[in-house]
Structure 1
Amino acid sequence: MKETTDSIDTSPDTLTTMLRMAHSFKNWDNLIRLSDALYDLALSMFNGDPRGKSYLQKPLVYYLGFSSLMKGLSLQKKKLYQEALLSIENYKDLSLFSDGSEKSNNIVDNFKFFAEANRFSIHILSGDNRKLDDYAQFIQRYPSEILPGFITILEHATAHNIEVDEEIAPLLEFVLHSVDDEINSDKRSYYFTIFYLLAIYNFNNKRYQDAIDYNLKYLESSDKTNDDQHFKKATALHEQFRSHASTQQLERYNSILKNYLFGVIRDEEGFSLDRLIVRNS
């Protein structure tokens, strides 16, 4: 870890909050800097530095694991896969830093699991097809990993132009079954990304009808949650492949846009979209 705690003078819990904020803004370089600072501070506390130790909200082992995990994820996003694998070494076995309590031991076990999952993910993203089937089976055993794992497999497939129909079939069944219940939860960004990548994956394989259906699902889901950024992304993607859409798909697309427009102007005083449509029909 290169960053020293002298350059960022704050508590482990504040640094943890700052890390989460940097992650939400996808500021990978700053996230690496903050991760280094948190790791160095937590390690110095473990070695006897008393600063703020009595005020920690979590066992000390958590901050060592969390800082290493977040740094590894940032390096992965920057496609620095070998460096990301080295970060995993820092949290794959944190038993040395446990205080022996049940809470600390559970944290050690959690980070051991994260290390296994993220090692798989990095191998897949770096183009190692040999791990693909093992990874697909791994994420099926752990429901919490299905959504991020599905994204990793689709990113791998689109980046390396390979077919993964067999691997994603059981994952797709899970996603389509659960999306309506979870689209308004904090997991919705996973579903948006999955539908977008499924559209791209099927476009690349010239399965245009399937691709457009997935993109329409993406469009509907973003409309349902009032997510304008994803709605615009799905609209732009549809327009790129409009010539491949069936009559039924075009009607569905136009219906989504009309409903969206009704929602936008519903509260506009003195304006009636129905009158405008009738006047111009």
Structure 2
Amino acid sequence: MRTSILKSLKPDIIVEMLEMAVAFENWKKVIETADILYQCVQSIYEEWQYHKAMKLPIPHVNLERPLVYYFGLSHLMGGMAHQNQGAYEQARECIYKYAELGWMEDLKEEDNQVVEEFRFLAKTNLYAVDILSGSIELVEEYVAFLQDNLEEILPGLNTILQAALMYHLDVENILHTFAEQIDEFGSYEDAENVSYYYSYCYHLALCYRKYDRLQDAVGLTMQAMHLANQSGNDRNFKKCTALFESLREWATAEQINEYRQMLMQCLDEYETDKHFIVKSINE
């Protein structure tokens, strides 16, 4: 991308675009946008270094976070997208890049805190990528890591459940280990944790279906459907609908009625939105 274009871009606007692409699980767009963010902040950094070397005033750029944060985020988001596409080697390469951001010059205390945060994220995400790519011998070590870092339990259990589906692992003892924390998942309200909780319910439902715990699978599918609807994620809602239909004969009459009500609610919302759009156009 040309330097003139990069200079016109604002890193925080690109971050918003990244977050939107992640919300829609458009992983190709996430990778493209993460690369644009990297190029943008690299251009800013190079310009700062040039002005410093030439003993010129450092150009001011309005940033909400330290510049090192945007470097780390570009690699973090790219790695997340590759991981969700099953491209684990590319994800691992991204992780190595944000595992050590101390190469930047003139880092202040605030910057070093960001470096440490990304170093920690690299450690937990490397566990995830290694386990998902087949190193299941790391699961026990990963569980011990999660016990020491309770804030990582929800995304960590997502990783373990996905690995269980891929590599036929028995995770009942692990779920029992974190039973107290799992009971708290439903109280989370922020968008990131709601998304993780959806994924937890959905993947656990798949595990239960695989091992013929079909009524449990139905209950978790309903919970996942509610969470997908709550977050407005149509793609995930469709996945839950398909999963529920595969389990319909094991659902209770009450669950089927609840399922129908959710579908009717979605239909009503669609018709309301359509009416609003048509009305706005006519006006």
| TM-score normalised by length of structure 1 | 0.78
For residues 45 and 265 of structure 1, the distance between their equivalents in structure 2, rounded to whole angstroms, comes to 47
Match of 1:272 in 2: none
The structural deviation recorded for 1:257 is 4.1
For residues 228 and 46 of structure 1, the distance between their equivalents in structure 2, rounded to whole angstroms, comes to 36
The structural deviation recorded for 1:170 is 2.7
For residues 233 and 78 of structure 2, the distance between their equivalents in structure 1, rounded to whole angstroms, comes to 30
For residues 221 and 35 of structure 1, the distance between their equivalents in structure 2, rounded to whole angstroms, comes to 27
The structure-2 alpha-carbon separation of the partners of 1:185 and 1:22, relative to structure 1 and needing over 3 Å to count, comes to closer
For residues 176 and 247 of structure 2, the distance between their equivalents in structure 1, rounded to whole angstroms, comes to 24
Q: Which has the higher mean CA deviation after the structures are superposed, 101-110 or 49-58?
A: 49-58
The structural deviation recorded for 1:33 is 2.5
The structure-2 alpha-carbon separation of the partners of 1:118 and 1:59, relative to structure 1 and needing over 3 Å to count, comes to same
Structure 2 residue 204 is matched with structure 1 residue 198 = yes
Match of 1:185 in 2: 190
Match of 1:38 in 2: 37
> Helix, strand or coil for the counterpart of 1:54?
coil
Contact kept in structure 1, 2:202 and 2:224, CA below 8 Å: yes
Contact kept in structure 1, 2:30 and 2:81, CA below 8 Å: yes
Match of 2:95 in 1: 88
The structural deviation recorded for 1:128 is 1.1
1:124 partner amino acid: I
Contact kept in structure 2, 1:120 and 1:135, CA below 8 Å: yes
The structural deviation recorded for 1:233 is 4.3
| Aligned pairs (5 A) from 1:145-224 | 145-179=152-186, 181-182=187-188, 184-186=189-191, 187-219=193-225
The structure-2 alpha-carbon separation of the partners of 1:90 and 1:204, relative to structure 1 and needing over 3 Å to count, comes to same
The structural deviation recorded for 1:201 is 0.2
Flag structure 2 segments of 5+ consecutive residues without an equivalent. Answer: 52-57, 269-283
Match of 2:245 in 1: 239
For residues 97 and 20 of structure 1, the distance between their equivalents in structure 2, rounded to whole angstroms, comes to 25
Q: Which has the higher mean CA deviation after the structures are superposed, 167-176 or 113-122?
A: 167-176
1:250 partner amino acid: T
1:185 partner amino acid: D
* Alignment coverage as a number of residue pairs: 258
Contact kept in structure 1, 2:195 and 2:231, CA below 8 Å: no
> Helix, strand or coil for the counterpart of 1:96?
coil
The structure-2 alpha-carbon separation of the partners of 1:215 and 1:102, relative to structure 1 and needing over 3 Å to count, comes to same
Deviations 1:87-108 (A, max 9, x none): 1121111122263422111101
2:36 partner amino acid: A
The structure-2 alpha-carbon separation of the partners of 1:160 and 1:263, relative to structure 1 and needing over 3 Å to count, comes to same
Match of 1:124 in 2: 131
The structural deviation recorded for 1:263 is 6.4
Contact kept in structure 2, 1:202 and 1:208, CA below 8 Å: yes
The structural deviation recorded for 1:73 is 1.3
1:62 aligns with one of 65, 69, 82: 69
Larger relative helix fraction: 2
For residues 15 and 227 of structure 1, the distance between their equivalents in structure 2, rounded to whole angstroms, comes to 22
The structural deviation recorded for 1:53 is 4.4
> Helix, strand or coil for the counterpart of 1:83?
helix
Structure 2 residue 77 is matched with structure 1 residue 75 = no
1:200 partner amino acid: L
For residues 226 and 82 of structure 1, the distance between their equivalents in structure 2, rounded to whole angstroms, comes to 31
Contact kept in structure 1, 2:185 and 2:197, CA below 8 Å: no
The structure-2 alpha-carbon separation of the partners of 1:11 and 1:201, relative to structure 1 and needing over 3 Å to count, comes to same
Match of 2:146 in 1: 139
For residues 17 and 264 of structure 2, the distance between their equivalents in structure 1, rounded to whole angstroms, comes to 40
Match of 2:275 in 1: none
The structure-2 alpha-carbon separation of the partners of 1:67 and 1:24, relative to structure 1 and needing over 3 Å to count, comes to same
Contact kept in structure 1, 2:79 and 2:92, CA below 8 Å: yes
For residues 161 and 25 of structure 1, the distance between their equivalents in structure 2, rounded to whole angstroms, comes to 29
Structure 2 residue 255 is matched with structure 1 residue 253 = yes
Flag structure 1 segments of 5+ consecutive residues without an equivalent. Answer: 267-281
